[in-house]
Amino acid sequence: MDALLNVVDVEATCWRGQPPAGQVSEIIEIGLTVVDLGRRARVSRHRILVRPRRSTVSGFCTGLTGLTPDEVDSGVTFAEACRTLATVHEAGTRPWASWGDYDRNQFTRQCRDSGVDYPFGDRHFNAKAEFAEAHRLRKRPGMARALEIAGLPLEGRHHRGEDDAWNIAALVLRLNLAQA
C-alpha cells in the first residue's frame, strides 16, 4: 500500500497592507515534498513557479520570499500547475498536509475564481493544528517556531515554498500521521 504524503506550501503575491486596486493575492510558488510515512523519510522535493494573472510581485513580496517578478513571469499558468499536481504528484488520490489552512483555502479560492479544477483530494492534514495538539500548546506556532520547539533546524529560506514544504515535512515526520 502506498504510504506517501504530499506536504505542500505556497507563496502568493502579497503587499504591505492592502493589495493595489484591481489586484488579488495569487499563488506564485508551490513547494511540495513527498514523505514516505512507512519509511519515515522525506523522499523528494519539488517546486512549481506560477505566473500570476491578476497581480504583480511587489517589492515587499520579493523581500519576503526572494521571488522576483521576472522569475515568476517565467512560471507556468495556475491551470498548468494544478494539472502537474494532479498528474505528476497524484494530488487527487494522495493525502496531503500543509501548515495551517492558508494553503488549502488559497487553492480553493483561486480554483473557484479561475474556473480550474481543484487538484487535491479530501484527505488534508492541518500540520499546524496536529503539531499544537501533539505538543499540548494552547497557541498554534508558526513553522519557524515549531522547528525550534521540535529541536530541528530551519533548512533553506523561510517563506520560500520549496524550503518551507521541506521543513514542514520534517515536522510532519515527528507527528503520528501513519494512518494518512
Per-residue model confidence as pLDDT tens digits over 16-63: 999 999 999 999 999 999 999 999 999 999 999 999 999 999 999 999
Which residue has 524550503 as its cell numbers? 163
Concatenate the DSSP letters of all residues of 111-151 into one string: HHHHT------S-EEEHHHHHHHHTT-SSPPPHHHHHHHHT
Q: Please give the model's pTM, rounded to 2 decimal places.
A: 0.95
Helix (H) or strand (E) segment spanning residue 87: helix 78-87
Instruction: With beta carbons less than 8 A apart as the criterion, state whether 65 and 11 touch.
Output: yes
Ordered by where they begin, the domains of the chain are 4-172 (3.30.420.10)
Q: What are 118-162's pLDDT values in tens digits?
A: 999 999 999 999 999 999 999 999 999 999 999 999 999 999 999
